[in-house]
Structure 1
Amino acid sequence: MAKRRTRRKTKSKSAPRRLIRRAFVLTARGLLVAVVLLVLVMGLSRFMPLWTTPYMFAESRKLGGVEYDWVPFEDIAPVMARSVVAAEDANFCTHWGFDMVAIRDALEDGGARGASTISQQTVKNVFLWHGRNYSRKALEALMTPMLEAIWPKQRIIEVYLNVAEFDTGVFGVKAAANHYFGVTPDALSPTQAARLAAILPSPKTRSAANPSTFVRNRARSILDGAATIRKDGRSACFES
């Protein structure tokens, strides 16, 4: 009788272990499938125009439509790409998705300045949702190196310029160039490009057509920065 009770106790103890092991295996398989699907989506979107994004779709439903039209990188004035890099991520060509120098400086300033790279913003704009929460930031941190590994730098800039919000319901540089200046994106002047880049951190409260003193000053700084990164080679990764 004693031996039978021992066997039953052993079986009862091993059952939860089997359940935990099975749950672990199923979770690992689920994560693997999710990673494979994400890699496939990123791989496909490296070559295809993006017709919408989660945020763009949400804004379209809220506003009843948005201004958006995809434009290839070669049909965008080169100074526009240099301007957004100078404004948002001057070390874009030298980092792998995270600018460690900018992160260190932001930490030293107590978080007063941003350290998000263009690669991180592209991940957020294309694949995730907007908002400040830890789950989104964690996914963004995981997906950014994957994006850098799958997409070339020029593609990241191309997509960023096409999906960035430049005003309420105005997405992408083609819509923005027409909305603010009545021109096509390949005809943007250096000053116009700098003004568009100057409003990107807060496009719903700033205007490129009627710039405030702050936007004018920031645009002048971006204009100089765009010229600088061209001279010192920091634009080579997306202009070659």
Structure 2
Amino acid sequence: MIGRLLGWCFRILLYLAILLALALLLFRFVPVPSTLMLGRWLTFRSVERQWVPLEQISPHLIRAVIASEDQRFCSHAGVDWIELNSVLEDEDGPSRGASTLTMQTAKNVFLWPGRSYLRKGLEIPLAMAIDFAWPKQRVIEVYLNVAEWGEGLFGADAAAEYYFHKPASRLSPAEAARLAGALPNPILRNPAKPSRGLQSAAGRVQRRVGQLGALGDCALPRGAKDAG
């Protein structure tokens, strides 16, 4: 009986690994929904999202999101072990997250919302698999097309149109900083009418962009790199 159960467990894990590999291969080339979007569709709630390729997203927003969310994005392999160890060694207990953009992409595409040690534990191997299977440009492209920027509002292009009445390709540095600053709490933060807290967050993002230097260039489309 134990041998049979172990055999079934092995088969299930093998099938899940094959499904994940196929999903990673498929999602490298096609528009990807998030689990939040799927949940809204299944419960007949509205979803506003227009998938756009990375070339149609302002480099200002790409760099602002990296500066705000994951400044070592270009140098780690999906997981920022330095930041993760720093959070785990905090004497007062974890007071902040250590999710990289790749881990957030793994959560948005493959996992469920909410906080739990199980979900966080799954994010790490998924992020490492994503980093192995996708180039950095694809990771940031998927992230910026599934990130939530309001109730039922997903993706950079939908957010740019909703808040600033322009496509994501035309975002200014200040607008990009406001969108990046809203990500930690997109339901309560309005980039078009920023509160004092969001204005402060956007200012920090712009300062970090200035300090980022070439560390954000790995995620830029080739044309943007050549122009820079």
Regarding TM over 0.5, the answer is yes
**Superposed CA offset, 1:6-50 (max 9, x none):** xxxxxxxxxxxxx21222122112211110111111111001112
Residue of structure 2 aligned with 1:66, choices 36, 47, 50: 47
**Pairing of 1:80-159 with structure 2 (within 5 A):** 80-107=61-88, 108=90, 110-159=93-142
Q: Which residue of 2 aligns with 1:37?
A: 19
Q: Deviation at 1:138?
A: 2.3
Q: Deviation at 1:204?
A: 0.6
5+ residue gaps, structure 2: 223-228
Q: Which residue of 1 aligns with 2:226?
A: none
Question: What amino acid is the match of 2:136?
Answer: K
**Pairing of 1:164-203 with structure 2 (within 5 A):** 164-203=147-186
Q: Which residue of 1 aligns with 2:58?
A: 77
Contact 1:60 1:169 in 2 (8 A): no
Give the superposed CA RMSD. Answer: 1.4
Q: Which residue of 1 aligns with 2:225?
A: none
C-alpha separation in 2, matches of 1:62 and 1:170: 16
Q: Which residue of 2 aligns with 1:22?
A: 4
Question: What amino acid is the match of 2:7?
Answer: V
C-alpha separation in 2, matches of 1:76 and 1:21: 53
**Pairing of 1:204-215 with structure 2 (within 5 A):** 204-215=187-198
C-alpha separation in 2, matches of 1:63 and 1:219: 34
Question: What amino acid is the match of 1:157?
Answer: I
Q: Deviation at 1:58?
A: 1.6
Q: Deviation at 1:226?
A: 1.7
Question: What amino acid is the match of 1:144?
Answer: A
Between Structure 1 and Structure 2, how many residues are aligned?
219
Question: What amino acid is the match of 1:118?
Answer: L
Q: Deviation at 1:141?
A: 2.1
Identity of aligned residues (%): 42
5+ residue gaps, structure 1: 1-18
Moved more, 93-102 or 161-170: 93-102
- The 4+ residue runs of structure 1 with deviation greater than 6 A are none
C-alpha separation in 1, matches of 2:137 and 2:154: 19
Q: Deviation at 1:235?
A: 1.3
C-alpha separation in 2, matches of 1:75 and 1:100: 32
C-alpha separation in 1, matches of 2:54 and 2:23: 20
Q: Deviation at 1:153?
A: 0.7
Secondary structure at 2:139 match in 1? helix
Q: Which residue of 2 aligns with 1:7?
A: none
Scaled by the length of structure 1, the TM-score of the pair is 0.87
Q: Deviation at 1:151?
A: 0.8
The 3 A distance-change label for structure 1 pair 63 and 192 is: farther
Scaled by the length of structure 2, the TM-score of the pair is 0.91
Secondary structure at 2:103 match in 1? helix
C-alpha separation in 2, matches of 1:34 and 1:113: 31
Secondary structure at 2:79 match in 1? coil
Secondary structure at 1:116 match in 2? coil
Moved more, 58-67 or 91-100: 58-67
Higher RCO (C-alpha 8 Å, min separation 6): 2
